[in-house]
Structure 1
Amino acid sequence: MMKKVRVERDKQGFWTHPQLPEWDESTTFADSKKWFSEKGLDCALVIMDGDLGEQWGNGEIDSCLAWEPEINIQDAYLVGIWDTEDGVVAMFAFPQIILEDSDKAAEFKTDISGWVSSDGRFYGKDERLARYAGSTHRKCDCGNIIPKNSYCNPCAEKRTKEKFLAMPVVAWDGASYIYDENTDKYFSNPEELVEHYAVDDLDSSSAMLIVCKPNYARQIEDDFWCDDLPEDISFDECGGVEQETISLLNKLNEKLKTTVLSYSPGDQRLDQSLLF
């Protein structure tokens, strides 16, 4: 299996993954994709365009080291940077994407009369399960193609935003902690929050401020001593426990009811118009 390795570009900025074959000018992109496909991978090209691409084409520069090629494909990694007749290109490899409705996900074997997934497992007449097992990615309701066991970030962010906007808006009560879902940070007061956005030069319009609810200390229940008590007898019923001890425990539990240990996001959002 081809793996990601450290990229060490030469003076001109070129580099080739050590596991790539020695392709020449006669090698087509289709040939490259076939080679990667045999290893369970796919590939894509990115061309150096913009100012650097124009300078290279005009012969104004003889090195592309300033170019840091990127591609918006999950788990993709660089396998080569070369000069071509179309300009400098970078090739990325990434795990092959197989959707459930793809012919590669599963095929029907007539000799065994059943469905076999792409990983060679036999599922009999269960085409749906075979296609799911043999696929690597799925299509989200929004149309994005994502790994089948993950979630769609844009949709997750949209749901989070919709849930936030559905919360009732309240003013700060002067005591509650504030949670900002945008930065995943807690603040003891609005001034601290506003300062954070100013110092870090953050966009205040992206803030998602939620009023926190306190998490109180748990009371000490009877079952804390259950392994030490006689069978089927509660702490209050145990004759060997002094009344003073029971009274102290009850007082402690009353205190614990108002002992705040931490805070968690609640179900109300803060009125941000009063802050920014």
Structure 2
Amino acid sequence: MPEEKIVFVNDKPADCGCTLAFSDGHGQYSNVYRITPCAAHSADKPFGPVEVKRDKDGWWCHPDIPDFGGTEDPAPFKTWAAEQGLELKTEDMDTGLAFHPYWDGEAHCNGWDPQSPGPEWFLMGIFDTEDGPHVQWARREVKP
């Protein structure tokens, strides 16, 4: 996930709405900065859909999925998804296509436009695996 910078200019709120309060510490501390995050940067922001902008090869990953240290082990991701209350659904590219240049050695999935399983589902990622391209969708778990 790319690092995002929040910029405060002349003690004014950031463009996103985050605010900054400064105190010189009144002789007890050094400078003290208090940041009040906007809704987009709040830790309480629920994980959910975002705008999808696939790269030049057609791949995409939800930018708010945490970095799990580069491990290939799916357990930390599955644990995190369960903590988020997400139900996941994954499909292979070959489920919906009769042919794609990927199967002839091309390293892209352009032209594959997987369709959401329903209006409540949002895209988690379009990614390559040992078994070929996959798409993963998520939705909030439906409570009975």
1:145-156 map, 5 Å: none
Could you tell me which residue of structure 2 aligns to residue 46 of structure 1?
A: 91
Aligned mate of 2:136, from 85, 91, 116 = 91
User: 2:121 matched to 1:76?
Assistant: yes
* Moved segments of 4+, more than 3 Å: none
Question: Following superposition of structure 1 onto structure 2, how do residues 123-202 of structure 1 map, counting pairs within 5 Å?
Answer: 136-137=143-144
Instruction: Return the letter of the residue paired with 1:4.
Output: P
State the secondary structure of the residue aligned to 2:78. Answer: helix
Unpaired segments of 5 or more residues in structure 1? 98-135, 138-276
Q: Alpha carbon RMSD of aligned pairs, Å? A: 2.0
Unaligned runs of 5+ in 2: 1-45
1:3 is aligned to 48
Task: Quote the Cα distance in structure 1 between the aligned partners of 2:130 and 2:103.
Answer: 10
- Deviations, residues 93-127 of structure 1 (Å, cap 9, x unaligned): 11113xxxxxxxxxxxxxxxxxxxxxxxxxxxxxx
Distance 1:71 1:38, change over 3 A: same
SS of alignment partner, residue 56 of structure 1: helix
Q: Distance in 1 between matches of 2:86 and 2:67?
A: 18
Q: CA deviation at 1:47?
A: 1.0
1:22-51 CA-partner distances (Å, limit 9, x unpaired): 2435222x4433211101212121110133
Q: Which structure: larger Rg?
A: 1
Q: Which of the pair is proportionally richer in helix? A: 1
Q: 1:74, CA displacement in angstroms?
A: 4.9
SS in 2 for 1:51: coil
**1:228-239 aligned within 5 A:** none
Instruction: Tell me how many residue pairs correspond in the alignment.
Output: 96
Higher RCO (CA-CA < 8 Å; seq separation 6+): 2
What is the CA–CA distance in structure 2 between the aligned matches of 1:31 and 1:73, rounded to whole Å? 26
Taking structure 2 as the reference length, what is the TM-score of the superposition? 0.58
> What is the CA–CA distance in structure 1 between the aligned matches of 2:90 and 2:133, rounded to whole Å?
10
Which residue of structure 2 lines up, in the alignment, with residue 58 of structure 1?
104
SS state at 2:80 partner: helix
Percent of aligned positions that are identical: 32
1:120-170 deviation line (CA, Å, top 9, x unaligned): xxxxxxxxxxxxxxxx23xxxxxxxxxxxxxxxxxxxxxxxxxxxxxxxxx
**1:65: how far off?**
2.1
Instruction: Give the direction of change, closer, same or farther, for the CA distance of 1:20–1:63 in structure 2 (3 Å limit).
Output: same
